[in-house]
């Protein structure tokens, strides 16, 4: 999909978080401007706990506390993907914009 979209102009593509871990995807993303929206893990975990994890296979774990399960898994993913996210051309911190 990124290969097909990379030839288009004036287009915004919101990839999933896992897209950044595949080097082939960066080959296409670097044809444009890549922007990382840096949302605090606490805010992400709260959102996920509110809507549930059924549509997010990496986070769908049986737990008595959905927030803690989401926060724990998101922390691991952030650590694993940190170097890949650092490849973005621009980082926009949403600290304070998310509650």
Let me know if residue 64 belongs to a domain.
yes
Residue 84 is assigned to a structural domain of this protein: yes
Taking residue 84's Cβ as centre, other Cβ atoms within 10 Å add up to: 18
Question: Is there a domain that residue 98 lies in?
Answer: no
Residue numbers of the domain that contains 36: 2-93
Calculate the CA dihedral of residues 29, 89, 77, 28 and round it to 10 degrees.
10
Q: CATH number for the domain including 26?
A: 3.40.50.300
Contacts of 67 (CB under 8 A, 6+ apart): 45, 46, 49
Q: How many domains in the chain? A: 1
pLDDT tens digits, the chain, 99 residues: what are they?
Answer: 888 888 888 889 999 878 999 999 999 999 999 999 999 999 999 998 888 766 666 666 666 688 888 898 899 999 999 999 999 999 999 998 876
pTM listed for this prediction = 0.77
**At residue 38, what are phi and psi to the nearest 5 degrees?**
-90, 95
63 found inside a domain: yes
Is 99 a member of any domain?
no
């Amino acid at each position: 999909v990124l290969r097909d979209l990379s030839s288009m102009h004036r287009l915004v593509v919101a990839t999933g978080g896992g897209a950044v871990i595949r080097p082939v995807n960066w080959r296409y993303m670097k044809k444009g401007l890549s922007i990382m929206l840096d949302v605090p893990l606490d805010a992400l975990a709260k959102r996920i706990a509110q809507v549930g994890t059924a549509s997010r296979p990496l986070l769908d774990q049986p737990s008595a506390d959905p927030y803690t399960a989401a926060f724990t898994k998101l922390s691991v993913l952030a650590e694993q993907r940190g170097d890949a996210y650092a490849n973005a051309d621009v980082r926009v911190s949403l600290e304070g914009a998310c509650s």
